[in-house]
Structures are given as C-alpha cells and as structure tokens.
C-alpha cells in the first residue's frame, strides 16, 4: 500500500490505508518508467506539492465553489487519500506493478482512482489497472500525443503512453486534446494514431472552435478516464513542467472539458502528471493544477 507523506491529505480527504467505503481514492505515483537519457526524478514531489497547495483551502470545504456550483464534497462524497506509492527512479517494472495493482484495488473497492503521477509514463499501468472493469474511453489532455512505439529503446516511457493504451483491449476510444508545437511524434506516429481511430484535436482548434470540438468525440454515457498532462496548459498559467510551450489551453478550457465529460458520461478515473515542483517557487502552478483535480472530484457527484 502507499506510504503516508508528511504533508496534509489532499483537500480534506480522509487519510486511509484502504479505499474500501470511499467514493474516490487519491494516490501519488512518484516514478514510472524512466528513459536512460532523461531523469524522471524532477516530477517525484508533485503529489505532495498538490496536497500542500490546498492545505489552507481544506479548512473551507463547506463553502460554495463557483467552479462547481456547489461545495466541493456536496452530497457527502467520501474521499480517501492513500498516500504515495513507494516507487523508485530505476525500478520501472516494480513501479508499474505498484501503480497497476493500486488502481485495480481502488476499482475493486467500488471507488474512482485518482493518481497524481510523476512523469507521463505512469498512466500506462494506471490504464492497465482498468482491465477487467467496463471498457473505457480515454480523454487525454496533453501538449503531445505520445504514440511512439519506443524511444531510446524503451517501450513503456512517456512518449508511448497512448500507443500502449491503444493496445489494451478494454480501451475502445481515445480522444486527444491540446497537441501543439514539437513533440516526440513523427509523421508516421500521427498517421498511426489516426489509423487506429484516435480523435486528435490540436490546441489551436480548441482556441478557434471551443471545447465542443473535443467533447463532440466523447461518447454519451460511457466510462471515461481523463489523463491530464500539466503541459497541456499554457506556459503562462503552468510554467512548472518539463517542456513548456506557448499556445496551450487555459485553466477554464480544461475545467470545461472536465465538466463536459461529466455531463455526457462518467468520469471513471483521473491521472494528472508531468508537474515539476522546482519550477514553481511561488506555488501558484501547484495551486492551479490542484484546483483542476478539485474540478474532477466535484464532478464525480450527480448534479445538484
């Protein structure tokens, strides 16, 4: 099971060793599968940064939340914080097993898993943890499409997240929102994503046509897993990422995508990754990311 951190639980969640009896359960996954040329330790403190960012706000849980239209934990959604998994930078296979097993444990308890990951390889085992559950659609909100088969000889790294998801039989739809600029994708990866059936909506299309350009591809009444890479947000609002670039989405657009999924479908799980705490000396980027997680938590309940 995850280990307790020294910071408060996320936004008033109950510290627990088990997800049993809760509607949703948060856990941190500090490390995934590193590339030999890229250090993934820069993301390791992300989960605790999000917890700390909302430590003061957790004292105001009964107050009206204008993002949601009701208090965060309206209708008494029970939220657990399970702590952080004991992952290590160079134990990739063990890290993946911990993430997958924890995700499945939460689902078997009837709760919604919420992962605060390290790098963007951590959603690969998170998604795999849904095997055996009802089939899922994925909404990936990310500056990159992550369809590389391998990079530096590694097939489980952060450039391959959606490629590996597409190979999992319980994943039947992938919608990708926010791609922009340069990433690791080459023309062949873009073509392969389209050939599989991925719906790719670049950031510029969202700016021009609105979030409905994305939500039109989310099927009605499905179970939808949302995977949010913090670099999907524009660098002006989210500088604390490994590869910041201009032209990204706004907080309001991402919050709108979360709300839109909840209105059309069911949020089956949520992963937020790629945050770099050392690039956030003022703490405002962690607060921004943590508030997006609150938008997810608040949408897990039926509309009032």
Q: Report, as an integer, the average pLDDT of 88-117.
A: 97
**Can you tell me the distance from the alpha carbon of 243 to that of 279, in angstroms, rounded to the nearest whole number?**
11
- Residue tagged 């369809």 (tokens): 147
* Per-domain boundaries in the chain: 10-298
- Reading the block at residue 237, the tokens are 């609002």
Q: Given this model, what pLDDT does residue 4 score?
A: 60
DSSP, collapsed to helix, strand or coil, labels residue 77 as: coil
Q: Given this model, what pLDDT does residue 184 score?
A: 86
CA pseudo-torsion sign 136, 48, 161, 247: positive
Q: Which of these, 234, 276, 46, lies nearest to 143 by C-alpha position?
A: 234
CA of residue 270 relative to chain centroid, distance: 5
Q: Which of these, 13, 12, 24, 29, lies nearest to 273 by C-alpha position?
A: 29
Structure confidence at residue 278 as a pLDDT band (50, 70, 90): very high
**Can you tell me the distance from the alpha carbon of 302 to that of 169, in angstroms, rounded to the nearest whole number?**
29
- The pTM score is 0.96
**Can you tell me the distance from the alpha carbon of 151 to that of 184, in angstroms, rounded to the nearest whole number?**
9
Q: Given this model, what pLDDT does residue 38 score?
A: 84
CATH for the 10-298 domain, from 3.40.50.720, 3.40.50.970, 3.40.800.10, 3.40.50.300: 3.40.800.10
pLDDT digits (tens, 9 = 90+) for 234-274: 999 999 999 999 999 999 999 999 999 999 999 999 999 99
Q: Given this model, what pLDDT does residue 186 score?
A: 95
The better pLDDT of the pair 38, 304 is held by 38
* Model confidence at 304: pLDDT above 90: no
pLDDT digits (tens, 9 = 90+) for 204-244: 999 999 999 999 999 999 999 999 999 999 999 999 999 99
Contact 116, 62 (CB under 8 A): no
**Can you tell me the distance from the alpha carbon of 244 to that of 221, in angstroms, rounded to the nearest whole number?**
34
Q: Given this model, what pLDDT does residue 203 score?
A: 98
Contact 95, 29 (CB under 8 A): yes
For 44, what's the count of Cα atoms within 13 Å in the CB-facing half-sphere?
15
Q: Given this model, what pLDDT does residue 301 score?
A: 80
Contact 297, 70 (CB under 8 A): no
Structure confidence at residue 73 as a pLDDT band (50, 70, 90): confident
Structure confidence at residue 1 as a pLDDT band (50, 70, 90): low
With a pLDDT cut of 70, the percent of the chain lying above it is 97
The average confidence (pLDDT) of the chain is: 95
């Amino acid at each position: 099971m995850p280990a307790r951190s020294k910071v408060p639980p996320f936004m008033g969640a109950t510290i627990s060793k088990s997800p049993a009896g809760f509607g949703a359960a948060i856990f941190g996954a500090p490390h995934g599968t590193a590339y030999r040329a890229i250090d993934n330790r820069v993301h390791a403190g992300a989960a605790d940064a999000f917890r700390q960012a909302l430590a003061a706000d957790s004292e105001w849980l009964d107050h009206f939340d204008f993002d949601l239209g009701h208090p965060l934990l309206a209708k008494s959604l029970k939220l657990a914080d399970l702590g952080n998994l004991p992952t290590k930078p160079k134990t990739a296979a063990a890290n993946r097993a911990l993430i997958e097993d924890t995700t499945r444990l939460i689902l078997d308890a009837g709760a919604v898993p919420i992962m605060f990951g390290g790098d963007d390889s951590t959603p690969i085992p998170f998604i795999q943890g849904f095997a055996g559950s009802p089939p899922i659609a994925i909404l990936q909100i990310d500056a990159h499409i992550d369809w590389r088969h391998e990079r530096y000889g590694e097939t489980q790294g952060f450039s391959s997240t959606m490629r590996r998801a597409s190979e999992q039989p319980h994943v039947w739809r992938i919608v990708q929102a926010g791609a922009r600029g340069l990433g690791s994708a080459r023309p062949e990866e873009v073509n392969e994503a389209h050939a599989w059936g991925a719906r790719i909506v670049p950031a510029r299309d969202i700016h021009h046509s609105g979030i409905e350009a994305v939500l039109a591809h989310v099927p009605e009444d499905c179970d939808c897993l949302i995977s949010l890479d913090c670099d999907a947000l524009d660098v002006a609002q989210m500088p604390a990422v490994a590869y910041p670039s201009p032209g990204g989405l706004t907080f309001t657009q991402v919050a709108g995508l979360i709300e839109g999924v909840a209105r059309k479908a069911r949020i089956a799980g949520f992963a937020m990754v790629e945050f770099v705490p050392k690039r956030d000396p003022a703490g405002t980027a962690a607060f921004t990311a943590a508030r997006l997680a609150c938008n997810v938590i608040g949408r897990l309940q039926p509309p009032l």
